[in-house]
Chain A
């Protein structure tokens, strides 16, 4: 199959307007004859479900959470970008577009990114109208800050809880449509499969998480808004329930998976404290504005510190290595996420890491407190310092914080065209679940923007074009394909329950996470990746022979839920390894040790790898097939990133 991205012709700035005009419309009286399924009620899903219901479509919204308000989007802290240029500091749609393409290390589609920047301004208007309490200045206008090293202040925020406020805004719009009877909500329902009739997505199979009932639901189009797959690494900043199951089942039905190996590792997270660790907590990136990153200059000092023979505050200035400031004099502690993360790994690999585990570096506010006073530092970061103290029991005003990189976001996802449709007609992917806008690295505050852009302002237009070409006939819920798909899900459930092996689901998840983190994390090599592939294959065999899933299907069964998800993560892990192996270059978050500059920086290969890698599922235990969508850059010049 040739991948057709359906990028409209014409100048960049006119593509979206023209495309909207050229898209077919569904007659208002007919809209209520169409059913749309939205899986996921995070920013992308809630905004899409509300907007489509407002247009008149009948929407069924599914979430495995007990309420739409609990989606992982709720946890986003920092903010949301928009090219409003309220600060008069030179921002524009083109600049946001340019920064995003460059930040993504030139592995995203120009047309999609431009559209994202274009609709970003409307998102802020929408959220304010809903009553989202963004931060404001004394004059009553909206406040902005610069985020993640951006040269302009374009980030809107609501204290440290931007994701929460945006999600509650979308949730309120969704709730209004539930009250209007236009959205039927299915909480605690997990999507287990897509149902295809004549090559088109026509519904889904779900499991009711309270009763275990396996149910089928019909629709004229299905939207997957199911978030990212960072939990393939076991430890990540994602919520515990975040998973790849919906996307993976769609992949197995024919939706291509794009750039699976593109993952983002965030440099400032609270380090792992022991084997019991269940998730990692992000400390806002803004801390690097004032904190200085360092480790002891020698292995010996680091060792003494780890053993508790010396105290951190006794380490003299000349025995400290401010490695980011040393290596990158012009950007210093503010280098991009991937560079900061990788360098923390290097110094720890050299044996200079701190914390009992040796896997942490210091983020020190001593000098900032001396310069600005404790009160000023507290006013900027007080809540973060408190949170740190609550988790670690240490006071960052007295001793430096300890941080270490952690998996945070997945740029890869289901391949979609300009309309956000996957390679399965009628099946769409929105938000973090798709691959489309962030290339090989996502800029801070751009995921919230993308989720809401997809849901509020893109899908309401593009879905019409597809539905207008589909007859509004009701779909037969008793079609053999529905019965077959439900049977398959039931079989898989009983298969899992039958194994009754010796190892817990978490045992497999942790083991998978270790393999992925060691070999497909911050630095990757052909040798390591090949080793990991063999290990994952073995892990998969072991899982299906020896996993222990207790209880029955007909009850709330968290182990069974998790077993499904981990089984899918294992398969995804193998594909990520394949993708990382085949991309013989370094770009953004993907760092192949074989491809670096003499100074140890990522070395891109635009001649051979300026493409989207889209993988096609070929059957159980078969190697997947790689399809390439070439990336064409007409509006930006490809340059090597440098932060020296």
Chain B
């Protein structure tokens, strides 16, 4: 099939950037979306033009690198990662618009590549249990009810892709942050630091310039890993009970 691609091109962080149009033919429906871009890039290289830059690595939907905003939706029409999207989801003759994530806290570095290190800093603010290597109890010493372990796992599946931020009109990072807060708040291992964790991570999230949450649910609808907004409610509870009893006040 044939497609017309409208792709955001931007030389570097300080460049203004703009759309460029590329016709592509010989697209097979078995190709993944990124393989289609690989083919375009081979053609561009052949013509001596700079290939389109985008982040990607595992191409299995798990590393969270790929991050394209396709036809107005993060990761495109399906609720999956861009690398798991295949061309059979598109029609012959269609025009496809490809943009980077757009959020103040995710500055564009080049073309479709953005800087998501703000997420790392949110985790550094408290997304861990403070145990060092060694000297921990036997793994079976503290039983964890299966339902709780399963809920923690549901939240832990977040791949840190940032689609939730890209989907949100306020560019809020609540879904991402709440997934980690929830995972650790649910498990007995996370109890000791429960209060300070929520407080510190939320403070970092605000400091990075992510917007406020107004409960539109757009994040959940676009999250490729099905992270539920009930995590946001849980984080809000954690946060408010922490603030009320905080020693930091």
A residues whose Cβ falls under 8 Å from a Cβ of B: 47, 50-51, 54, 65-70, 72, 74-75, 84, 86, 122, 124-131, 133-142, 158-159, 161, 164-165, 168, 171-173, 175-176, 178-179, 185, 187, 210, 239-241, 273-274, 276-279, 281, 387, 390-393, 456-457, 460, 504, 506, 548, 550-551, 555-556, 558-559
Check B184 for interface membership: any CB of A closer than 8 A.
yes
CA distance A53 to B14 in the complex (A): 36
What residues on B are CB-neighbors of A126 within 8 Å?
Answer: 131, 133-134, 136
> What's the nearest-Cβ distance from chain B to residue A120, in Å?
12
What residues on B are CB-neighbors of A276 within 8 Å?
Answer: 28, 31, 35-36, 38-39
Q: A135-B149, A164-B62, A393-B88 are in contact. Are A556 and B53 (CB under 8 A)?
A: yes
Tell whether, in the assembled complex, residue B145 and residue A278 are in contact, meaning their CB atoms are under 8 Å apart: no
Tell whether, in the assembled complex, residue B57 and residue A65 are in contact, meaning their CB atoms are under 8 Å apart: yes
Q: A74-B62, A133-B187, A558-B53 are in contact. Are A142 and B127 (CB under 8 A)?
A: no
Tell whether, in the assembled complex, residue A239 and residue B63 are in contact, meaning their CB atoms are under 8 Å apart: yes
Q: A138-B146, A276-B38 are in contact. Are A70 and B65 (CB under 8 A)?
A: yes
Chain B contacts with A in 138-157, Cβ cutoff 8 A: 138-140, 142-146, 149-150, 152-153, 156-157
Q: Which residue, B63, B131, B133, B159, has most C-beta atoms of chain A within 10 A? A: B133
Q: A176-B130, A274-B30 are in contact. Are A136 and B63 (CB under 8 A)?
A: no
Known: A172-B128, A456-B134, A550-B51. 11 other contacts (CB 8 A): A65-B65, A67-B160, A125-B138, A136-B145, A140-B144, A140-B145, A142-B139, A175-B120, A273-B30, A276-B35, A555-B11
Chain B contact residues: helix, strand, loop or mixed: loop
Partner of B136, one of A125, A391, A556: A125
Tell whether, in the assembled complex, residue B129 and residue A131 are in contact, meaning their CB atoms are under 8 Å apart: yes
CA distance A343 to B46 in the complex (A): 40
Tell whether, in the assembled complex, residue A559 and residue B51 are in contact, meaning their CB atoms are under 8 Å apart: yes
Check B249 for interface membership: any CB of A closer than 8 A.
no
CA distance A68 to B57 in the complex (A): 13
What residues on B are CB-neighbors of A137 within 8 Å?
Answer: 146
What residues on A are CB-neighbors of B120 within 8 Å?
Answer: 67-69, 175, 178, 185, 187
CA distance A483 to B57 in the complex (A): 32
Q: Which residue, B11, B130, B156, has most C-beta atoms of chain A within 10 A? A: B156
Tell whether, in the assembled complex, residue B183 and residue A84 are in contact, meaning their CB atoms are under 8 Å apart: no
Q: Which 8 pairs, one residue from A and one from B, show the smallest C-beta to C-beta distance?
A: A140-B143, A172-B128, A129-B136, A133-B153, A128-B139, A133-B152, A51-B133, A54-B132
Tell whether, in the assembled complex, residue A66 and residue B133 are in contact, meaning their CB atoms are under 8 Å apart: no
What residues on A are CB-neighbors of B84 within 8 Å?
Answer: 387, 390-391
CA distance A556 to B53 in the complex (A): 8
Tell whether, in the assembled complex, residue A239 and residue B146 are in contact, meaning their CB atoms are under 8 Å apart: no
> What's the nearest-Cβ distance from chain A to residue B220, in Å?
19
Q: A54-B132, A168-B156, A393-B86 are in contact. Are A66 and B65 (CB under 8 A)?
A: yes
What residues on B are CB-neighbors of A140 within 8 Å?
Answer: 143-146, 149
What residues on A are CB-neighbors of B129 within 8 Å?
Answer: 129-131, 172
What residues on B are CB-neighbors of A175 within 8 Å?
Answer: 120, 123-124, 127-128
Tell whether, in the assembled complex, residue B38 and residue A278 are in contact, meaning their CB atoms are under 8 Å apart: yes
Tell whether, in the assembled complex, residue B45 and residue A391 are in contact, meaning their CB atoms are under 8 Å apart: no
Tell whether, in the assembled complex, residue B30 and residue A239 are in contact, meaning their CB atoms are under 8 Å apart: no
Name the segment of B97-105, B111-119, B164-172, B238-246 touching the other chain.
Answer: B111-119
> What's the nearest-Cβ distance from chain B to residue A39, in Å?
17
CA distance A253 to B19 in the complex (A): 46
CA distance A84 to B137 in the complex (A): 14
Tell whether, in the assembled complex, residue A240 and residue B57 are in contact, meaning their CB atoms are under 8 Å apart: yes
The chain B residue sitting closest to A67, CB to CB, is B120
> What's the nearest-Cβ distance from chain B to residue A186, in Å?
11
Tell whether, in the assembled complex, residue B143 and residue A274 are in contact, meaning their CB atoms are under 8 Å apart: no
CA distance A74 to B61 in the complex (A): 10
CA distance A464 to B77 in the complex (A): 53
Tell whether, in the assembled complex, residue B57 and residue A278 are in contact, meaning their CB atoms are under 8 Å apart: no
CA distance A274 to B86 in the complex (A): 14
The chain A residue sitting closest to B26, CB to CB, is A276
CA distance A504 to B41 in the complex (A): 10
What residues on B are CB-neighbors of A176 within 8 Å?
Answer: 124, 128, 130
> What's the nearest-Cβ distance from chain A to residue B126, in Å?
8
Partner of A139, one of B115, B119, B143: B143
Tell whether, in the assembled complex, residue A393 and residue B51 are in contact, meaning their CB atoms are under 8 Å apart: no
Check B236 for interface membership: any CB of A closer than 8 A.
no
The chain B residue sitting closest to A82, CB to CB, is B139
Tell whether, in the assembled complex, residue A504 and residue B183 are in contact, meaning their CB atoms are under 8 Å apart: no
CA distance A122 to B136 in the complex (A): 9
Partner of B187, one of A124, A131, A240, A277: A131
**Chain A proximity mask over B60-104: 1 for CB below 8 Å, otherwise 0:** 101111000000000000001000101010000000000000000
CA distance A137 to B145 in the complex (A): 8
Partner of B127, one of A161, A172, A551: A172
> What's the nearest-Cβ distance from chain B to residue A392, in Å?
8
The chain B residue sitting closest to A68, CB to CB, is B120
What residues on A are CB-neighbors of B28 within 8 Å?
Answer: 273-274, 276
Tell whether, in the assembled complex, residue B62 and residue A240 are in contact, meaning their CB atoms are under 8 Å apart: no
> What's the nearest-Cβ distance from chain B to residue A574, in Å?
26
Check B29 for interface membership: any CB of A closer than 8 A.
yes
Partner of B60, one of A187, A277, A281, A555: A281
Tell whether, in the assembled complex, residue A142 and residue B63 are in contact, meaning their CB atoms are under 8 Å apart: no
> What's the nearest-Cβ distance from chain B to residue A428, in Å?
17
Q: A125-B137, A131-B187, A276-B28 are in contact. Are A136 and B62 (CB under 8 A)?
A: no
> What's the nearest-Cβ distance from chain A to residue B193, in Å?
10
Q: A140-B145, A159-B153 are in contact. Are A129 and B51 (CB under 8 A)?
A: no
CA distance A65 to B159 in the complex (A): 14
CA distance A241 to B187 in the complex (A): 34
The chain B residue sitting closest to A242, CB to CB, is B57
CA distance A281 to B80 in the complex (A): 16
What residues on B are CB-neighbors of A391 within 8 Å?
Answer: 32, 84, 86
CA distance A565 to B130 in the complex (A): 37
Partner of B123, one of A165, A171, A551, A556: A171
Tell whether, in the assembled complex, residue B45 and residue A559 are in contact, meaning their CB atoms are under 8 Å apart: yes
Tell whether, in the assembled complex, residue A239 and residue B58 are in contact, meaning their CB atoms are under 8 Å apart: yes
Tell whether, in the assembled complex, residue A75 and residue B113 are in contact, meaning their CB atoms are under 8 Å apart: no
CA distance A368 to B99 in the complex (A): 45
Tell whether, in the assembled complex, residue B123 and residue A131 are in contact, meaning their CB atoms are under 8 Å apart: no
CA distance A66 to B59 in the complex (A): 16
> What's the nearest-Cβ distance from chain B to residue A48, in Å?
10
Partner of B50, one of A66, A158, A548, A551: A551
Check B56 for interface membership: any CB of A closer than 8 A.
yes
Tell whether, in the assembled complex, residue A239 and residue B152 are in contact, meaning their CB atoms are under 8 Å apart: no
> What's the nearest-Cβ distance from chain B to residue A267, in Å?
18
Tell whether, in the assembled complex, residue B139 and residue A50 are in contact, meaning their CB atoms are under 8 Å apart: no
Chain B contacts with A in 15-50, Cβ cutoff 8 A: 28-32, 34-36, 38-39, 42, 45-46, 48-50
Partner of B131, one of A129, A241, A390: A129
Check B109 for interface membership: any CB of A closer than 8 A.
yes
What residues on B are CB-neighbors of A179 within 8 Å?
Answer: 124-125
Tell whether, in the assembled complex, residue A161 and residue B62 are in contact, meaning their CB atoms are under 8 Å apart: yes
Q: A126-B133, A159-B153, A241-B57 are in contact. Are A70 and B139 (CB under 8 A)?
A: no
> What's the nearest-Cβ distance from chain B to residue A512, in Å?
16
The chain A residue sitting closest to B57, CB to CB, is A239
Tell whether, in the assembled complex, residue B45 and residue A66 are in contact, meaning their CB atoms are under 8 Å apart: no
Q: Which residue, A127, A130, A159, has most C-beta atoms of chain B within 10 A? A: A130
CA distance A70 to B160 in the complex (A): 9
7 chain-A/chain-B pairs, Cβ below 8 angstroms: A47-B133, A69-B63, A142-B139, A185-B120, A240-B57, A548-B45, A556-B110
Tell whether, in the assembled complex, residue A66 and residue B46 are in contact, meaning their CB atoms are under 8 Å apart: no
CA distance A67 to B63 in the complex (A): 10
What residues on B are CB-neighbors of A129 within 8 Å?
Answer: 129, 131, 136-137, 189
Check B211 for interface membership: any CB of A closer than 8 A.
no
Q: Which residue, A65, A129, A138, A161, has most C-beta atoms of chain B within 10 A? A: A129
Tell whether, in the assembled complex, residue B139 and residue A556 are in contact, meaning their CB atoms are under 8 Å apart: no
